[in-house]
Structure 1
Amino acid sequence: ALPAPEPLPPEPEPLPPEPEPALPAPEPTPPAPAQEPALPAPAVSEEAPAVPPPLGSETIRQRDARVARSMARLDDFAEFRRSRRDPDDGPIPGILLTNTDARELLDVVAHFDLFPIAFRRSEPARGYVAIDFARGQMQPTKDFDYISERYAKNTMYIRGPLRRNPLFRSAARELIRRFGIPARDLEVCFLVPRPFMAYLNWKAFKTCEQAGVDPAAVRVCKGALVRRGRTWVLRVEEFAMKDGRQIPVRGTG
């Protein structure tokens, strides 16, 4: 069963929930979200933003291969591959994406298979809405197996309120209108493939270590993931500390 993220705290800039919340066991579920027929994604150059494939159109092996190709183009991927997780590292803060450009975000979604979903934070076991930003499609479902097989238990959020993000603004209005989810109860987040989540965890810990900051004191690392030609670059820009401080990151990450 897919663990549901806990509600975000009522702050100006939402932060990721504590890791590994437990989701109530769902009822027997239907097949993976079926999508309306859509034309194949247009071919794009290495520099042009990609278009994510229709939801449920890939096998897990095909999806993993696509994500692996994108991860291999991260500027510090070789260093990540050589790294080993030390159990003594302690808690690792999550990463909050600060990207605000809609095309840029869609590019990230496509290359790393981030899966946008919406649900009622008061009733997460009631189901979720799978969102396809590229095609403007939304599919309500209770298929928790679909996401538990493909994605990590932790979730990723975008910086700032939904109404301020061009990619999420219209989607939030449509979710409220079509599915009757009250705005105050609406939760929207990205699910992340396990291999890419492992990289994000490594990146957060490495940046804290380089900056001489205790990871246990950091609530979240804020940064943008952007493409420079063929290379993906994730630069952590700021630490949001548990004591409320915002510490800029300079020359690291």
Structure 2
Amino acid sequence: MAEDDKYPQSTGRRRFVKGVVGSASLAGIGTGAATALNSATAPSGSGGGITEYMAMENTAGPAPRGMPQVPIEIDSEGYLKGVWPEVKEKTQQGRTIKVAETNMGGVTYSSEWFQYCGVQTYPGVAPEADQDNFLRYVGNSKFEWQNETVEKGQKVHIDDFKDYESWGNGIGSSGVGKPALATWRSQDVPPANTMVVQVIRSTNVEKMAKQDEWINASTEKGFIGNLNKCTHFCCVPSFKGLAGSAGSGAEDMIYCQCHQSVYDPFNVIKKSFVALPRPESE
């Protein structure tokens, strides 16, 4: 083992750190420069390459970019679903591949938004995965209200957020928004491959939807969602779920306690990054 490699190869630790740092570095380069790297970063699997997406803006900390937004819709019975784009075929780098992609609110919404931090290997991110798209509560969340009033696996319902205009938990200001953590496109999927979405219902989102075409199309009744993977080291951030967030001025923001990255859930902006390709289907 080389002197500078303090982690044995069998642990995979050094390779993981290099991979994450490499991804973060790619995220910081301009689109023009990243295009030159495209051939080296999108080989065997489907998808990958330069991807524009809508993100919860990263406002502080080492995260290289915002977390991707997950569009939300509510069915006729009041249950929340993450919108999945239309599955279609397209030619990419001389190959015909299947992608999930659709125009929504003037934005090209694609499954490639979620191809980072290893999520590109999750079964649920495959365009044709057999999933119903309902959001289902995780167990043992950071939010007491969720742990006390709903059960793991229960579908998220609009009635669970009736008090969103006044809800508070002693972290930051009350009435800013009521959060929950849920799984998405992960039924009968191993826990390690579960896609976790953070949902927030807020009057701020309702106001945003009146002023922005994309927000109007991608949110409903004040609900907004994001894939809950920090773009720095793939940790799990939280909106009003961590008391220590006040130390970084993030008590009313999405805060990652691992390295103090901060995201603004009420400022969604267009970003780009080098999405990693999905593995070849077996």
TM-based fold match above 0.5: no
Considering fraction of residues, name the structure with more strand. Answer: 2
- TM-score of the pair, normalised by structure 2: 0.24
Flag the structure with larger Rg: 2
Bigger proportion of residues as helix: 1
Question: TM-score, structure 1 length as denominator?
Answer: 0.26
